[in-house]
């Protein structure tokens, strides 16, 4: 049977499903009714994990219809061997779908619906290598559970997505995940070492949007905040902000925001920084998240061996100052997508921020970004990016970059270059990287040269000015079609670095061992050693990093540690330092899970004696009332102990947070949030630093 299946896949791997028109719209209730009998269907799925290119253990059928205004999908997921798994707070069955509406072969929408009804959506970027959940769209889903199957219906309004007008064939992939045996089945055959590449999707044929309207989203937000800072009276801050989105055409969109609320609803977690460079913070603000895929240079995802030239870093706009943020008066964004071009322009203006007590005076400031990217060679790209900010003619920071990426299967090669001008201080930067397979060898490579005068500190995130480095790692990659081990690689390499302010080159040898198992567990071990030049100091650098991850009782677990002998910038001396991490959540009942994220940083002195340990604990309770209503409560405790004396442990800070969220309509939310932060005072007690409470509502007016 397996031989016959593989033969059929070999002769017919280009799969096509036709969109058929219906005058009667399906009712989105999770029940596949009679109207679906007229639809074409996608079937004959292939197992992707744990055993690639084999027959699935369960049958799956996906039906496709459209009317003038909407695109409809119905998934019938058989579960004859084991009842479908549905749980609001643990691993569960799901269906997933990717749609490339421009024929780009590099970027696609993704839609994910779990058996419990929870949904996710976003972008798939870099030909499937990067998942970005910043896009939130208007679409509808319903799930119905049976003993021997579950069924999912989806409605996607054409006016809620962007597409190339006149293009009647979209690239598409549909799949499902079976939690019982951690199996992923896809409509098309993909290789595990390559991943689910957009350039290898199947075809959705006969798409014909006929919707009419203004394609306009008006997005008012109302909120009431109460801020209480140390030494100040509490202050109530009622406010209304306004956002709008207008799809001028199916390919062109204008976004705008006026006095947006970027309150600290979700705080950045504590992290002890012993290095010379600042910590990168993720963007969480909706205006900057939407369309983020355009305003970025290419990357390899989360592989960790390559640092892209981020000459635009949106968290510089309305940046954090102490525990507050610089207010944003307004922002405007224009984006255009087509089969060959992605073009975007963004502008924002921040208000003045003055804090005389702490000596802070942030003047009004303009920000602007321009991006153009063109597809070449089917699924490769070349592009340019300009970013800038200006206070006045004497205080500005500009940057201009060019980038190109060549993709072929799992192989990807990136080249980036940029120049900067910060108030007449000019510099340049070059960056390149490669990841791929050469026969049975895996290879990682990157090279970077940042000029001493390169400076994008007001608009981007490239803090390592003056650094030059070359990294190459390659070794045998082995994949197993059967058995407990899925794949592994052993890759030795070299890392040559010239740190800022040094003329000598550091030369490190390295080795990485990585393995994946059929049960979704995996590990990665990286070690490096060699002569290093840093801060006018010559020493033997060494480091070892171990990461282990997997699925335990239906929830993801991750833990590991990193230990190195290097320069401690917090203390100002050369010594050992280490960090240990652990994160896990456990589902007590389907509606309730408890979790813990913890770190333990360890510092040694020059005599190899532990001088301090910094334990951080972040317990969390997550309550899911249903697929659309949730409550999360966390408490972050940061402690310090001298040496290994646990009896002298001091509580340095405590942050309590609460977030209630209700997604009552598509893109419409109601929030209740609280952040209470306290630090150790002179008398040893935890003194309040700030308390922020907020009630916030966002409502989408859509026409």
Tokens 């003055």: give the residue.
354
How far is the C-alpha of 405 from the C-alpha of 386, rounded, in Å? 18
* Chain centre distance of CA 496: 29
Q: Is the pLDDT of residue 362 over 90?
A: no
Question: pTM of the full predicted structure?
Answer: 0.87
Helix (H) or strand (E) holding 6: helix 2-11
Predicted confidence (pLDDT) per residue in 322-359, tens digit: 667 788 899 999 998 887 888 999 999 999 988 777 77
Average pLDDT over residues 546-569: 95
Residue 582 counted as domain residue: no
Residue 614 counted as domain residue: no
Question: Other C-beta atoms within 10 Å of 64: how many?
Answer: 23
Which domain range does residue 116 map to? 2-205
pLDDT score, position 13: 60
pLDDT score, position 384: 97
CA neighbours within 13 Å on the CB side: how many for 401?
31
Band (pLDDT 50/70/90 cuts) for residue 562 is very high
pLDDT score, position 158: 93
Average pLDDT over residues 229-245: 81
Residue 664 counted as domain residue: no
Tokens 């070999």: give the residue.
10
Residue 677 counted as domain residue: no
Q: Is the pLDDT of residue 61 over 90?
A: yes
How far is the C-alpha of 625 from the C-alpha of 620, rounded, in Å? 16
Residues 6+ apart with CB under 8 A from 650: 639, 640, 641, 680, 684
Predicted confidence (pLDDT) per residue in 103-148, tens digit: 989 899 999 999 999 999 999 988 888 888 878 889 999 999 999 9
Question: Other C-beta atoms within 10 Å of 381: how many?
Answer: 24
**CATH number of the domain enclosing 114:** 2.60.40.1190
Burial class (CB in 10 A: 0-12, 13-18, 19+), 535: middle
Q: How many domains does the chain have?
A: 1
Residue 39 counted as domain residue: yes
Return the closest-CA partner of residue 562 out of 575, 549, 548, 543: 543
Q: Is the pLDDT of residue 18 over 60?
A: yes
Q: Is the pLDDT of residue 164 over 80?
A: yes
Residue 340 counted as domain residue: no
pLDDT score, position 425: 95
Q: Is the pLDDT of residue 3 over 50?
A: no
Average pLDDT, the chain: 90
Q: Is 639 helix (H, G, I), strand (E, B) or coil?
A: strand
* Chain centre distance of CA 483: 32
Residues 6+ apart with CB under 8 A from 655: 267, 270, 635, 636, 675, 676, 677, 678
Predicted confidence (pLDDT) per residue in 587-629, tens digit: 999 999 999 999 999 999 999 999 999 999 999 999 999 999 9
Residues 6+ apart with CB under 8 A from 190: 48, 52, 196, 197, 200
Residue 265 counted as domain residue: no
Residue 423 counted as domain residue: no
């Amino acid at each position: 049977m397996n031989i016959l299946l593989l033969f059929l896949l070999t002769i017919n791997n280009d799969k096509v499903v036709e969109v058929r028109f219906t005058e009667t719209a399906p009712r989105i209730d999770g029940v596949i009714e009679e109207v679906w009998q007229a639809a074409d269907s996608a079937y004959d799925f292939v197992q992707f994990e744990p055993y690639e290119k084999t027959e699935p253990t369960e049958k799956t059928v996906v039906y496709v219809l459209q009317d003038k205004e909407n695109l409809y999908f119905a998934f019938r997921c058989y579960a004859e061997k084991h009842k479908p798994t549905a749980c609001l707070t643990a691993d569960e069955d799901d269906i997933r779908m990717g749609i490339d509406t421009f024929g780009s072969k590099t970027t696609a929408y993704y839609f994910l619906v779990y058996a419990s009804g929870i949904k996710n959506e976003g972008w798939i970027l870099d030909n499937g290598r990067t998942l970005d959940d910043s896009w939130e769209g208007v679409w509808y889903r319903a799930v119905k559970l049976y003993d021997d199957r579950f069924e999912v219906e989806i409605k996607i309004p054409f006016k809620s997505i962007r597409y190339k007008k006149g293009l009647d064939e979209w690239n598409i992939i549909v799949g499902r995940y079976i939690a019982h045996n951690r199996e992923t089945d896809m409509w098309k055959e993909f290789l595990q070492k390559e991943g689910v590449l957009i350039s290898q999707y199947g075809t959705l044929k006969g798409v014909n949007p006929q919707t009419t309207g203004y394609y306009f989203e008006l997005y008012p937000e109302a909120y009431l905040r109460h801020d209480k800072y140390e030494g100040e009276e509490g202050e109530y801050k009622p406010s209304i902000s306004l956002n709008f989105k207008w799809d001028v055409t199916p390919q062109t969109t204008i976004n705008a925001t006026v006095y947006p609320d970027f309150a600290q609803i979700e705080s950045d977690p504590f992290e002890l920084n012993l290095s010379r460079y600042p910590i990168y913070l993720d963007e969480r603000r909706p205006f900057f998240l939407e369309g983020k895929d355009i305003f970025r240079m290419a990357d390899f995802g989360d592989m960790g061996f390559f640092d892209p030239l981020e000459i635009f870093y949106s968290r510089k706009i309305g940046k954090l100052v102490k525990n507050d943020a610089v207010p944003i008066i307004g922002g405007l964004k224009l984006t255009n997508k087509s089969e060959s071009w992605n073009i975007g322009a963004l502008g924002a203006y921040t208000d003045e921020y003055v804090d005389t007590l702490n000596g802070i005076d942030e003047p009004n400031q303009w920000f602007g970004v321009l991006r153009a990217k063109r597809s070449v060679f089917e699924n490769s790209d070349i592009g340019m990016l300009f970013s800038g900010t200006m206070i006045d003619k004497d205080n500005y920071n500009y940057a201009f970059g060019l980038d190109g990426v060549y993709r072929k299967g799992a192989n990807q090669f990136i080249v980036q270059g940029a120049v900067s001008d910060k108030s007449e201080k000019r510099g340049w930067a070059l960056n390149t990287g490669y990841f791929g397979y050469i026969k049975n060898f895996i290879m990682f490579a990157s090279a970077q040269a940042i000029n001493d005068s390169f400076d994008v500190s007001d608009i981007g995130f490239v803090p390592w000015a003056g650094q030059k480095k070359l990294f190459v790692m390659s070794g045998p990659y082995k994949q197993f079609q059967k058995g407990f081990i899925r794949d592994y690689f052993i890759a030795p390499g070299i890392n040559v670095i010239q740190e800022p302010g040094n003329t000598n080159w550091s030369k490190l040898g390295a080795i990485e061992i990585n393995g994946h198992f059929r049960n979704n567990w995996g590990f990665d071990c990286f070690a490096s050693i060699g002569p290093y030049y840093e801060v006018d100091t010559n020493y033997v650098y060494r480091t070892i990093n171990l990461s282990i991850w997997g699925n335990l009782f239906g929830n993801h677990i991750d833990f590991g540690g990193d230990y190195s002998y290097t320069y401690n910038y917090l203390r100002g001396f050369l010594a050992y330092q280490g960090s240990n991490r652990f994160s896990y959540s456990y589902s007590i009942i389907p509606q309730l899970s408890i979790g813990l994220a913890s770190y333990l940083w360890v510092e040694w002195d020059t005599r190899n004696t532990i001088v301090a340990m910094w334990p951080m604990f972040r317990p969390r309770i997550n309550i899911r009332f249903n697929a659309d209503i949730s409550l999360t409560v966390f408490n972050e405790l940061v402690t310090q102990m001298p040496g290994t004396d646990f009896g002298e442990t001091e509580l340095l800070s405590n942050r309590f947070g609460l977030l209630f969220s209700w997604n009552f309509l598509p893109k419409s939310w109601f929030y209740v949030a609280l952040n209470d932060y306290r630090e150790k005072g002179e008398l040893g007690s935890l003194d309040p630093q700030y308390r922020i409470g907020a009630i916030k509502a966002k409502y989408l007016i859509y026409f």
